[in-house]
Amino acid sequence: MLRLAAFAVTSALAAAAAGPLPPLPLGRLLASPDRLTIDISKAGSLNGRYRLDCRPVGGDHPKAEEACSRLDALAKQGKDPFAAAPKAAMCTFQSGGPATAHVTGTWHGEKVDSWFRRENGCDIARWDNLEPVLPSAGA
C-alpha cells in the first residue's frame, strides 16, 4: 500500500513537472466528416452519382484515394477547390463539351454546393484542376 501511494505521488510530481498537456484537436474530432456527393451528367458513360468520403477514404467514387489526395493537396496550398471562378476573370471562348458536375456535401467542416461546367476556358481550367474528383475530359 505504501508503494502504491509513493508511485501515485511520484507520477503526479512527474506530470506536473512536464507541464500541461497540449489541447486535444476537438474541433477536428467534432467536425462533420468530409463527405461529398458528385453528380455527373452529359458525360456519356461517366454519368452518375458518386459518393466520396475522405479521412477515412470510402464511398463508391471510382478513384477515391486519388480524389482525396487531390483535395488534400489543394487544401495544403490554401485553395478552396469548390470556389467559383472570379466574376471579373477573362475567359477564353471555347467549349470543353456539355459535361456538368454538381458537388454537394461537407469538406473541412464547410458546406459544399458547387456546379462545374466546361463552357469556357475558366470553367475548363476549374474542372481540370479538380481531376480526379471530377472525371477527366479525355476519359
Question: How does pLDDT run across 51-68, given as a tens digit for each residue?
Answer: 999 989 999 999 999 999
pLDDT at residue 42 is higher than 50 = yes
Mean pLDDT of the 107-125 span: 93
* In the chain, where the domains are located: 28-82+96-134
From CA 113, how far away is CA 37, in angstroms rounded?
10
CATH architecture of 28-82+96-134: 2-Layer Sandwich (3.30)
Run of H or E including 37? strand 34-41
Q: What is the pTM of this model?
A: 0.74
pLDDT at residue 125 is higher than 80 = yes
Are 133 and 73 a contacting pair, CB within 8 Å?
no
Report DSSP state, residue 50. E
pLDDT of residue 6: 47
pLDDT band (50, 70, 90) for residue 30: very low
From CA 99, how far away is CA 95, in angstroms rounded?
10
Where would I find the beta strands (DSSP E) of 55-123? 58-59, 100-107, 110-117
